Amino acid sequence: MNEFGLELFRAARTDENGAISPPSIAAAFSLAVPGANGTTLAELRRALRVGSDDVAYMRLGHELLQSISDRAELEAASRAFVDDDLSLKAEYERTIASAAGMSFERLPISSDPEGARVRINRWVDQTTKGKIPSLLPPGLVTTRTQLALVSALSLSGSWMHPFKLDDTRPGPFHLLTGQTIEVPMMHAQRRASYARVDGVKLLELPFRGDLSMLFVLPDEGEDDSTGSTGLGLGQLGPRSSAPTPSTPANRVAPSRPAASAKPAKTLRQVEDALTVETLERWTSRLSRSNVSIAIPRFTVDAPLDLKPPLMSMGIRRAFKEGEADFSKLSAKRLYIEHAVHRSFVHVDERGVEAGAATALLFGSRGATPMPSFHADQPFLFLIRDQKTQAILFIGRVTHPRD
């Protein structure tokens, strides 16, 4: 799952804030895998790193989340929202119910797509404890939609050693554009797990329980020989001058290149280097050190259309109408019409609040789209007696007047 998640993170990146939850995405797709066949199945297995045992992969992901839930404030659930007119194959239904603890809910999706969208969003909102209130935007669920496979999770974590509110003060944050803004920076000096390796700095801060947060910062080459190691997460872009005292918070200050002892790694270079093997090597270098810490309070709320990055990773057939093969799921010719994900992460002095949800919306080949009648041009009208068909009024409207 980690290998898949890191590759997807790179494939989906932009220069904006972003986040994904690999377990949420993998959980949703693992529910689709047992229903796939042929090339569709082969592509899903390769991209997800499933191997040949689809059920074992699904069960492993489910058991992983259950294990973490026993040791941390993590709640996860999956649900299949099935159109009233869609028949699932019995073997598929039994498989995902037993291996993934799946629940099913019947909805009139094709006849009331907006009502179904509202119901699915409400379930996600409740499961994520309000962190993902609107996973599916208006118009995404249509009369073509037959099935929604949805996974959601919610995480709360309290720092083992909270930051003091009195130590939070405005500080510079250097953007990728080379400009500098002021943001609330949380400060502390304490012993923590720290490493400096391969042009990056790492800091790992524990939450109560077994979870932790690992920060990875491009190393700008400053000298750590003062006896106290420094890690300030205000440097996630080309380094520029700090704002003057008169620069208001969150306002851009003039920028200039900063001197550095050695060339700095860019954030993109760090992302490119981030593989499972690299992460294991980096974290093996962590050791307890006295660290001067400055980390911004931040919130990332990141909706993501999964289709483009996943197609670049080799999942193509599943998204193509008329070519997708989900014949082990249903006798209908289904394909994944939409794959959407949303992650929310908020970090402050107390800890982290995070949530994520993923939905795969299956459409049916040949399903009739909802007809439309928009009287936005001149038209005729007739008022009739339905029993006798007598026309009581007939008229034309070329310029509506209220």
Task: Determine the Cα–Cα distance for residues 42 and 329; give it in Å rounded to an integer.
Answer: 16
- 3-state DSSP call for residue 103? strand
Task: Determine the Cα–Cα distance for residues 74 and 306; give it in Å rounded to an integer.
Answer: 24
With a cut of 80, say whether residue 263 has pLDDT above it: no
**Residues 47-63: pLDDT tens digits?**
999 888 888 888 888 88
- Indicate the Cα dihedral angle 116, 120, 122, 124, nearest 10°: -170
Q: What is the mean pLDDT of the chain?
A: 84
Q: 3-state DSSP helix/strand/coil percent for the chain, to nearest 5?
A: 25, 35, 40
User: By the 8 A CB rule, do 210 and 71 touch?
Assistant: yes
Residue 357: DSSP 8-state: E
Q: Which residues contact 152 (CB under 8 A, 6 or more apart)?
A: 24, 76, 77, 78, 123, 124, 127, 128, 132, 135, 355, 356, 357, 358
**Residues 115-138: pLDDT tens digits?**
999 999 999 999 999 999 999 999
With a cut of 60, say whether residue 257 has pLDDT above it: no
The more confident residue out of 73 and 394 is 73
User: By the 8 A CB rule, do 314 and 45 touch?
Assistant: no
CA-nearest of 194, 211, 202 to 159 is 211
Most confident of 99-108, 245-254, 255-264: 99-108
**Residues 8-34: pLDDT tens digits?**
999 998 888 899 999 999 999 999 999
**Residues 333-346: pLDDT tens digits?**
999 999 999 999 99
With a cut of 80, say whether residue 386 has pLDDT above it: no
User: By the 8 A CB rule, do 32 and 100 touch?
Assistant: no
**Residues 287-345: pLDDT tens digits?**
999 999 999 999 999 899 999 999 999 999 999 999 999 999 999 999 999 999 999 99
Residue 159: DSSP 8-state: B
In the chain, the largest separation of any two C-alpha atoms, in whole Å, equals 98
pLDDT value for 393? 62
pLDDT value for 169? 95
The more confident residue out of 398 and 174 is 174
With a cut of 70, say whether residue 249 has pLDDT above it: no
Which domains, ranges and CATH numbers included, belong to the chain?
Answer: 2-156+300-364 (3.30.497.10), 169-296 (2.30.39.10)
The whole-model pTM stands at 0.82
In this structure, how many other beta carbons lie within 10 angstroms of the beta carbon of residue 49?
Answer: 13
Least confident span in 145-159, 177-191, 368-382 = 368-382
pLDDT value for 258? 38
With a cut of 90, say whether residue 221 has pLDDT above it: no
Query: Which residue has tokens 């943001």?
Result: 183
Q: Give percent of the chain with pLDDT exceeding 90.
A: 58
In this structure, how many other beta carbons lie within 10 angstroms of the beta carbon of residue 275?
Answer: 14
With a cut of 70, say whether residue 368 has pLDDT above it: no
**Half-sphere exposure (Cβ direction) of 81: Cα atoms closer than 13 Å:** 27
